[in-house]
Chain A
Amino acid sequence: MSAYDHVTAARANDRPTSVDYIKRLFGDSFFELHGDRRFADDKAVIGGIAELNGKPVTVIGLEKGRNLKERMARNFGSAHPEGYRKALRLMKQAEKFHRPVICFVDTSGAYCGIGAEERGQGQAIAENLMEMMTLKTPILSIFIGEGGSGGALALAVADEVWMLENAIYSVISPEGCASILWKDPSKTAEASECLKLTAQDLFKLGVIERIIREPKDLESRIFDSLKNLIADTFEKKAAIPAEKLIEMRYNRFRKF
């Protein structure tokens, strides 16, 4: 598969979204929480509390929606500042109640628009980066589809970052890269190669800890093994004192 094949797969409309992962991993135990307590409830971010093998976890996901109606309601998974502030509120809540945080990342990027700028898109993302770095509870981020730049990173200052085999993570979209580099947005395939945005490339660069293999039928077994993998990881992280955990998280990003 070429890098661009991964881009296409990551963006495919029939790909499971955060809602699907939440349903399959946590079932009826997921209780959704809404709003950032400051401005609004951003539907591009879904969040709540759930049970994972009997233990409480905070779950946050960037949600693109699964059909046109949902996609419009969820702004195609592109969050406004209130979405990132809602995510941070839930992370702070997780810290208070000593439960780990799991983030599902699937976004082409943070939204660019008048309201987003007026309400401080840059400030909202910056605050998440800062606060996540010293959050006193384990954080795991799983890239399930697209990981578009700062809007993805705002949910990925984590102790571990995992990626689905066909997920991508990039500082700029291949289209944007191609139009700047070659003044030709159609050269997306070449740009995809240059950007090193596939899970394999990112694993080699030390940006992610794990690649989750995607079976042909993504609906099947992946969820059971993923569930156990997450539970095991949280169990190991829970044994690490908070101060040490934060030091390890700092060093995880300090190395770049």
Chain B
Amino acid sequence: MPDFFNFLKPKNELENQGEFAENHPYIPEELWIKCPVCKNAILSSDLMENHKVCTKCGYHFRLSARQRVELTVDENSFAEMDADMMSTNKIGFPDYEKKLRNAKISSGENESVITGSCTICGEKAIIAVMNSKFMMGSMGTVTGEKITRAFEYATENRLPVIVFTVSGGARMQEGILSLMQMAKTSGAVKLHSDAGLLYITVLTDPTTGGVTASFAMEGDIILSEPKALIGFAGPRVIEQTIRQKLPKDFQSAEFLLDKGFIDAVVQRKDMKSTLAQLIRLHKENDEGGAAL
């Protein structure tokens, strides 16, 4: 093929894996934290009090899955499901075991998602929270399995589902089995939806690739944290494909709101009460109809 063809040929959309590597700061233990956006130093205790949102510019620091659960659900109400489920190297991909081991150590988790039942301001729900610290929230077989089981449990018990997404996309090390998780989870979402039950997605920074192209975009209501990067392809992949710089704020939550792909951008401090309100508005009475 001449170069001309290669120039024109579009790139594969999931080549954005690794694009969002650990270049965003998590909350360290130090006294002063430098905000990566406004560069101001903020007192760690102030930051914690402010739900890990920069007190100067409003930047929403990334949260681990546990921190997210803590901020979202009622105290001691989280009962984790499938906590011990762990990935194996099913297609014999080079060094995958080592990657998994490192991800477990750096994240303190067994996979890129935690799932469980909880109450939010007293409202019962099933919650799934992805974790960027575990292989950039990539979708492995166990990720897909835990999310699928969460939906199946919710369908059986007639409960709403809340999913917080953060993901670089598919997990290359699981090859086609990673891709199959997109279909598997979408199937479970569809059966939950067909049963007349509520599904809310909360997109957090960044949500891309196979997660965007499956359960992240399948909610009845799609919320996002401010300024989160949300897209199918990662910005670097798009820039390589079209050979030009992307406009500022392209693929931001606010951009998607403007284009009609999400329902609302919600501040972190308002997320819990917003979720509780939305669940209440969809609550069934004993006859199975709406409570109002």
How many residues belonging to A are interface residues under a CB distance threshold of 8 Å?
Answer: 59
Roughly how many angstroms separate A72 CA and B194 CA in the complex, as a whole number? 40
A86 to chain B, nearest CB (A): 17
A121-B232, A129-B183 known; A114 and B246 CB under 8 Å? yes
Q: Which residues of B in the span 177-214 have a Cβ within 8 Å of any Cβ on A? A: 177-184, 186-187, 189-191, 193-194, 209-210, 212-214
Q: Are A171 and B11 in contact (CB under 8 A)?
A: no
Q: What residues of A have a CB within 8 angstroms of the CB of B10 in the complex?
A: 75-76, 78, 108-109, 111-113
B79 at the interface (CB under 8 A from A): no
Residues in B lying within 8 Å of A, measured CB to CB? 1, 8-15, 17-18, 91, 93-94, 141, 144, 148, 170-172, 174-184, 186-187, 189-191, 193-194, 209-210, 212-218, 231-233, 237-238, 241-242, 246-247, 250-251, 259-261
A45 to chain B, nearest CB (A): 14
Q: What residues of B have a CB within 8 angstroms of the CB of A172 in the complex?
A: 12, 14-15, 17, 170, 172
A1 at the interface (CB under 8 A from B): no
A170 at the interface (CB under 8 A from B): yes
Q: Are A121 and B233 in contact (CB under 8 A)?
A: yes
Q: Are A170 and B176 in contact (CB under 8 A)?
A: yes
Q: What residues of A have a CB within 8 angstroms of the CB of B12 in the complex?
A: 108-109, 148-149, 172-173, 175-176
Q: What residues of B have a CB within 8 angstroms of the CB of A130 in the complex?
A: 186-187, 189-190, 193, 218
Roughly how many angstroms separate A117 CA and B176 CA in the complex, as a whole number? 24
A113-B241, A253-B180 known; A126 and B13 CB under 8 Å? no
Q: What residues of B have a CB within 8 angstroms of the CB of A112 in the complex?
A: 10-11, 13, 232-233, 237-238, 241-242
A27 at the interface (CB under 8 A from B): no
The one of B11, B175, B178 that contacts A109, using a Cβ cutoff of 8 Å: B11
A171-B176, A196-B175 known; A117 and B250 CB under 8 Å? yes
Roughly how many angstroms separate A172 CA and B94 CA in the complex, as a whole number? 16
A180 to chain B, nearest CB (A): 5
Q: What residues of B have a CB within 8 angstroms of the CB of A173 in the complex?
A: 11-12, 15
* Closest chain A residue, CB of each to CB of B139: A171
A194 at the interface (CB under 8 A from B): yes
A109-B11, A117-B233, A150-B14 known; A126 and B212 CB under 8 Å? yes
Q: What residues of B have a CB within 8 angstroms of the CB of A75 in the complex?
A: 10
B247 to chain A, nearest CB (A): 8
Q: Which residues of A in the span 95-123 have a Cβ within 8 Å of any Cβ on B? A: 108-114, 116-123
Q: What residues of B have a CB within 8 angstroms of the CB of A254 in the complex?
A: 148, 184, 187
A196-B176, A205-B177 known; A134 and B190 CB under 8 Å? yes
Q: Are B178 and A117 in contact (CB under 8 A)?
A: no
A180-B172, A256-B184 known; A126 and B213 CB under 8 Å? yes
* Closest chain A residue, CB of each to CB of B4: A68
B144 to chain A, nearest CB (A): 7
